[in-house]
Amino acid sequence: MSSSEPRSALDGLEILGSGIATSDRIASMLENAHMLKDLDWPQVVALASYIQLYRATPGTVLFHEGERGDFMCIVLEGKLEVRKEDTQRVDKVVGTVLPGRSLGEMTIVDGEPRSATAVVVQTSMLAVLTQMNFKRIMQEKPALSAKLLLEIARLLSQRLRMTSGILVDYLES
C-alpha cells in the first residue's frame, strides 16, 4: 500500500484468526453484550458470522474524533476511554467503555465523521462489525438488520437522554 492510500483504523490491530474465532465462539462472547440483549440465540449466531475479533494493546487509538469511520465494536475484554477535545483542543475523557458495551454505532448508521476519539487503556478484545458487513446483513438477513437497527436506535436514544440530563444539570449550575 502506498503512503497516499487511506489506512483503516483496524490496520494497527491484531486480528484473531479463524482458528479461535468460529461463529459459535464469537456468539458466546457476544451473548453478554448490552446492545444485543434482546436478540435471541439464533440471531446472535447469525450476527457472529459477520463479526471479526481484534486484540488491541494499551495506547492504541481505535479512531480519532473527526475522521471518517466505517466500523463499530463491542468490547469483549479490556477497557477503552472515549475522549473529546475541548475549546482549547485538549482531550477530555468523557466516557469509559467496559466489557459488554459498544462504541462507534453512529458511524455504522450515518457514515459521518467520528464524534470522539477512542483509546485502548487495557489490553482489549473487540468484536468488530464493519459498515460493509452491516450492509451485507441488510441484504442477506433483513429481519436481523431491522432488529440491530432497533437496538442501535434504542442505545443512541438512551445516550441522548443521559446527555440531555447532564446538560440540564450543567445549565442549572
State the pLDDT at residue 18.
47
State the pLDDT at residue 144.
96
| Cβ-Cβ contacts under 8 Å for 47 (sequence gap 6 or more) | 27, 30, 36, 39, 129, 137, 144, 148
Using one digit for the tens of pLDDT, what is the confidence trace for 104-127? 998 888 888 999 999 999 999 999
pLDDT exceeds 70 at position 3:
no
Higher pLDDT, 154 or 164: 154
pLDDT exceeds 60 at position 168:
yes
Mean pLDDT of 26-38: 90
pLDDT confidence band for 25 (50 / 70 / 90): confident
Higher pLDDT, 144 or 155: 144
Mean pLDDT of 30-37: 90
Using one digit for the tens of pLDDT, what is the confidence trace for 128-141? 999 999 999 999 99
Distance CA 111, CA 159 (A): 19
Domain annotation for the chain: domains and CATH numbers: 9-172 (2.60.120.10)
Q: What is the DSSP string of 130-168?
A: EHHHHHHHHHH-HHHHHHHHHHHHHHHHHHHHHHHHHHH
- Tell me the three cell numbers of residue 43: 440471531
Higher pLDDT, 20 or 97: 97
State the pLDDT at residue 12.
65
Mean pLDDT of 42-51: 94
Using one digit for the tens of pLDDT, what is the confidence trace for 54-103? 999 999 999 999 999 899 999 999 999 999 988 888 889 999 999 999 99
